[in-house]
Amino acid sequence: MGTVIDSHFLALTAIVTVGYQFFFFVITALLKFDKVTDFAGSTNFVILAILTLVLKGLWSFRQVVLTSLVVIWGFRLGLFLLMRILQWGEDRRFDEMRGNLGKLAIFWIFQAVWVWTVSLPVTIVNASDRHPSPQAEDIIGWIMWSIGIIVEATADQQKLKFKYSPENRGKWCSVGLWKYSRHPNYFGEILLWWGVFVSSTPVLEGGEWLVVLGPLFLTLLLLFVSGIPLLEASADKKFGNVDGYRVYKSTTSPLIPLPPVVYGNLPSWFKKAFLLELPMYSRHLPQGLLN
């Protein structure tokens, strides 16, 4: 079928994303029902990937593979988050937004930007007329995605199981992958989206390389905005005065999984410079408790 509005499907995917997120924003605003928020974000990726694949109608091997990877990730994460919030009840992120339409609207606008931007690599691949045979970059990207989704899914399940065990009430999760990283699920998500980008590179030309903004935006978002900073602040406020937690934090990598015995013995400057142990991740700890 080919071109719809523009040859790269950028305007089309923007319109679809805004429409889809606006639909769920209305539901949230009118019914005060915020349990579908994460589901709306994850499934939006699925819609964009399938829509652009079908509209282009070429069905090259790379297009089908990348679309499938996004669909698998989107449905897995969307259903997991939906079932989790249905069991937990209200989403505490919206405690200050339910009565403030402006703040709620900003959240949904930001979610639309997140979906559209992070989807850029698969959008451009599905819109492309160039279809070189599979390259080394494809294989590397698929491997990165595979490792990433295994890490993310495993970490999600381990933490969910931990939280539902009565004996763990009031404790921080430090089992399984969480023994080697304070945020292994985010490590998996970052890795898999960089994998999608790497596997898109054989078809990129000129300005199309700007799709790197997709995984870059996601990485910056999780590192500096709505991911690690919020969770670190929450954990520090709950457990900051607990000796065991401070030991866990000082010996466990914030993102990249590493053995605690290795990470704990690394110099502070090395952690900050190369392993993303940013000062902002400890600013909510009581002063003097963590080097």
| Res 4: pLDDT | 56
Mean local confidence (pLDDT), 145-164? 96
Say whether pLDDT at 258 is over 90: yes
* Stretch 13-17: mean pLDDT: 97
pLDDT digits (tens, 9 = 90+) for 276-291: 999 999 988 876 544 4
pLDDT of residue 289: 47
The overall average pLDDT reported for the chain is: 91
pLDDT of residue 31: 78
pTM score of the predicted model: 0.93
pLDDT at 1 over 70: no
Segment 156-184 mean pLDDT = 94
Question: Could you report how far apart the first and last alpha carbons of the chain are, in Å?
Answer: 59
pLDDT at 291: 45
Number of other residues whose CB lies within 10 A of the CB of residue 95: 10
Write out pLDDT tens, residues 98-151.
667 788 899 999 999 999 999 999 999 999 999 999 999 999 999 999 999 999
Residue 95 phi, psi (nearest 5): -55, -35
Q: What are phi and psi of 253, to 5 degrees?
A: -60, 140
CB 174 within 8 A of CB 244: no
Mean pLDDT (whole number) for 39-46: 96
pLDDT of residue 82: 87
In a 10 Å sphere around its CB, with 0-12 CB exposed, 13-18 middle and 19+ buried, how is residue 109 labelled?
A: middle
Residue 25: what pLDDT?
92
| Nearest-angstrom CA–CA distance, 133 and 141 | 15
Domain segments of the chain: what residues? 1-130, 132-291
For CA atoms 229, 113, 206, 198, the dihedral sign is positive
Report the distance separating Cα 123 and Cα 16, nearest Å. Answer: 13
Interval 186-230: pLDDT, tens: 999 999 999 999 999 999 999 999 999 999 999 999 999 989 999
Quote the pLDDT of residue 193.
98
Range from 92-96, 181-185, 278-282, 283-287 that averages highest in pLDDT: 181-185
What average pLDDT does range 235-256 have in this prediction?
Answer: 95
Instruction: Please say if the pLDDT value at position 65 is more than 70.
Output: yes
- Separation of alpha carbons 268 and 274, rounded Å: 10
**The pLDDT of residue 47:** 98
